[in-house]
Amino acid sequence: MIPPPFSIKIALGADFLVSFSRLPQKQQKQVREFLDKFTENPTGSALNYEPVQGARDPNLRSVRMGSDYRGIILKPRQGNVYVLLWVDHHDEAYRWARNRTCIIHPVTGTMQVILTETVEPNDTDMSRCRNDGMPASRHIGPVPGLFDAVDDVTLISLGVPETRLSDVRQICHESDIETAETFLPREAFEAIFLLAAGYTPDEVRHELDISRETVVDTDDFSSAIERAGSKRQFVVVTDAIEMEKILAAPLDQWRIFLHPSQRRLVEMTANGPVRVLGSAGTGKTVVAMHRAAWLARQLNMPGQKILFTTYTRNLAADIAENLKKLCSPDDWDRMEVVHLDAWVRRFLEKQGFFLKMTYDEGANATELWNRALNMLPANLSFSPEFLRAEWINVVQAHGITNLQGYIRVTRAGRSQRLSRPERQAIWPVFEEYRALLLEKGLTEPVDAYRDAAKLIQNQRIGFPYAAVIVDEAQDFGNAAFRLIRELVRPGVNDLFIVGDAHQRLYGHQVTLSRCGIDIRGRGRKLRINYRTTEEIKNWATGLLRGLDVDDLDVGLDDLAGVRSLTHGSQPVIQSCFSEQDAAKNISTHIRQLMACENAEPEGICLVARSNRELNLYEQYLSSICPAIHRIDTSRADDRTKPGLRLATIYRVKGLEFDHVIVSGHMDELEPVNELPVRNTRHQPQNGLENRILMYVAATRARKSLLVCRISST
């Protein structure tokens, strides 16, 4: 393929990809064949651009993409710009084009596609707007518009097209805002949504990264399409290979389009570590992956790499699969994606230390711990549970390796005070446990992290990493971040850390500043939820109400101000007498989703705490869904596999589905007020952990959520 001349720009719109994805496979092939010729030379006479009869925008053209299908292309008079906007059966394609115009917003400079036909509210909406729901005969005065306090100049500065101001003025109730999505460009819809949610205009500009261009040429589409606001909906394609890569997965739009607020984080130049917080669904991992790809493209020294690490093996596998789609082959060669335990194990083995990591729920660790408890003096009555929590939350959390360190440490958060003699009497238990681990060739991850960091410091070992990206930061502890600090030299764009302590599954609270990671002035937060509906988000965040949650450093984080840009049905909560009863309800629910919502089995995921429960449900569901895909815990989710999805509550982390069903026993799902100290790593036993697990599972859902709570009696 010969790429088009440098002066020519070819772009794809998000709507074009959606319309392309809906075509039958035969027609998709014909569209691809057309695009091969189009990408090679969009000015070729054989393409036969035709004006759209009756269209209000003189810059729109139709092209033949198969016998009965037409593509709609923006072909402005000024500049060599060609933007693919839509593809459909010829009648529908022409109808789409007649009702739309492409403009450059005079303030933001963003390219916008505007629906030009008037969208009339239905009779009910009009009645409510005029009389606040009262009959016309009882009219007592007009209802104020929702945006009466915002002047036209401000609305326009936020991206609202001047031709749509009157429609925005007719919105009287928050419940009517979603109708604006049908006639407003995306940036304008988000702006009025946030205004209605209580944001000030300046806060909206900051949150959405809306710029005010000093000079805007409203005919220069070549410049407009390169602005950050336009890149939310349009992507410039450089060659046929890139075009085919995009068309291979047209609905994976996270790979192609970034919100300006996300792009701001991806492409920022930071003079030190950056920490990005964001609740479930705000796109933290997407930002982290784009950041890694962007940094890889900036590398100019042979051998340099970007390290992307996360907490678990399956999350690392998912991220690696997605980064491959995001990166060019050259950029992918500059990546190393690995979960931290695997990195540490490989590093220690290269240094001659062959220790197997063990976790506190493992059989080996349990046996050795019970043996170590024999070192406790008989005159002390501390319970095994208390001592285990002391080991995890004090000794290991603070990296204590000797008695002097244990005597000096502040045991903040522990309910029972210990005198100096009591600490001296307890210490032999911890010392013996660590010795028994080493005797068996075992080590806990915290000790492995600490040993690796000391080796790097003492031997001054260097690594080829230009930057380290950390995902799911809330699940790493201080020892992990002290090690991560050693992996890359401090400097520009060195560390990019994303996380959300509201989703902490493994109990490792971290204070970045105590690990040599100074984020002052470089803390950022994502507040727009692009995944779940407002109803699901509100229900899920309600589970965590009243909890103090850290910000991965010395402050606190909260969920205030987080907004979802879609609405839907309320989550359904069902009480069930048994697992069999739950299975019947779940079967009925899935049938309804497929029959009434046209849901595909691949878009439905059933989540439970254990594989035993999933095995039981699979037997029931096989009659209505012959294809059932169990999401493996040891590898990336294969989204090409057909069938209903089943996953444990831990494995579903990092994934999303249109419809989520969570089933479990009441004591596992019912939030409680007691918040005792964690005493295991993977098997939470208290109310805080149950709340977090339920929150994580619920926020995997994009459209609907069903929770089946099974009575424990």
pLDDT tens, 15-28?
999 999 999 999 99
Which residues make up the CATH 3.30.2310.20 domain(s) of the chain?
Answer: 9-109+221-252
Within 10 Å of residue 197's Cβ, how many Cβ atoms? 15
Mean pLDDT of the chain: 88
In this model, does residue 687 exceed pLDDT 70? no
In this model, does residue 670 exceed pLDDT 80? no
Q: Under CATH, to which class is 258-351+447-529 assigned?
A: alpha beta
Is the pLDDT higher at 394 or at 713?
394
In this model, does residue 133 exceed pLDDT 70? no
Amino acid, res. 456: I
In this model, does residue 469 exceed pLDDT 70? yes
Mean pLDDT of 507-520: 91
Residue 375: partners with Cβ closer than 8 Å, 6 or more residues away: 428, 429, 431, 432
Mean pLDDT of 619-648: 87
The helix or strand, by DSSP H or E, that contains position 339, with its residue range, turns out to be strand 335-339
Range of weakest confidence among 216-220, 393-397, 517-521: 393-397
Locus of tokens 């009645």: 127
Give domain 569-710's CATH architecture.
3-Layer(aba) Sandwich (3.40)
Range of weakest confidence among 371-385, 617-631, 634-648: 634-648
The predicted pLDDT at position 654 comes to 87
Q: What share of the chain is helix, strand, coil (3-state, %, to 5)?
A: 45, 15, 40
Mean pLDDT of 300-313: 94
pLDDT tens, 549-576?
999 999 999 988 898 988 899 999 999 9
Share of the chain above pLDDT 90, in %: 69
Mean pLDDT of 231-244: 91
Confidence of residue 284 (pLDDT cuts 50, 70, 90): very high
Locus of tokens 């009648």: 91
Alpha helices in 373-465 (DSSP H): 384-390, 403-408, 420-439, 445-459
The predicted pLDDT at position 534 comes to 93
Locus of tokens 């399956």: 314
Backbone angles phi, psi at 709, to 5 degrees: -100, 120
Eight-state DSSP code of residue 87:
E
The predicted pLDDT at position 682 comes to 35
The predicted pLDDT at position 131 comes to 36
- In this structure, are strands 442-443 and 465-470 parallel, antiparallel, or unpaired? unpaired
Confidence of residue 122 (pLDDT cuts 50, 70, 90): very low
In this model, does residue 539 exceed pLDDT 70? yes
Confidence of residue 362 (pLDDT cuts 50, 70, 90): low
The predicted pLDDT at position 220 comes to 94
State the helix-helix crossing angle for 363-372 and 420-439, rounded to 10 degrees: 140
The closest of 347, 457, 445 to 396, measured between CA atoms, is 445
Amino acid, res. 531: R
Backbone angles phi, psi at 72, to 5 degrees: -110, 125
HSE of 25, CA atoms in CB hemisphere, 13 A: 0
Confidence of residue 223 (pLDDT cuts 50, 70, 90): very high
- CA 362 – CA 344 distance, rounded (Å): 19
Confidence of residue 138 (pLDDT cuts 50, 70, 90): very low
Within 10 Å of residue 289's Cβ, how many Cβ atoms? 27
Is the pLDDT higher at 454 or at 78?
454
Confidence of residue 212 (pLDDT cuts 50, 70, 90): confident
In this model, does residue 222 exceed pLDDT 60? yes
Is the pLDDT higher at 366 or at 270?
270
| ∠ CA 635-640-641, rounded to 5° | 75
- CA 53 – CA 617 distance, rounded (Å): 56
Range of weakest confidence among 324-338, 348-362, 366-380, 471-485: 348-362
The predicted pLDDT at position 399 comes to 87
In this model, does residue 674 exceed pLDDT 70? no
In this model, does residue 684 exceed pLDDT 60? no
In this model, does residue 629 exceed pLDDT 70? yes
Which residues make up the CATH 3.40.50.300 domain(s) of the chain?
Answer: 258-351+447-529, 569-710
The predicted pLDDT at position 575 comes to 93
Locus of tokens 């809306």: 210
Residue 82: partners with Cβ closer than 8 Å, 6 or more residues away: 8, 9, 10, 11, 38, 42, 73, 74, 75
The predicted pLDDT at position 520 comes to 95
Mean pLDDT of 386-411: 91
In this model, does residue 508 exceed pLDDT 80? no
In this model, does residue 640 exceed pLDDT 90? no
Locus of tokens 């491959």: 324
Fold for the domain defined by 9-109+221-252? YaeB-like fold (3.30.2310)
Mean pLDDT of 181-190: 92
The predicted pLDDT at position 689 comes to 80
Total length of the chain: 713
Mean pLDDT of 53-76: 93
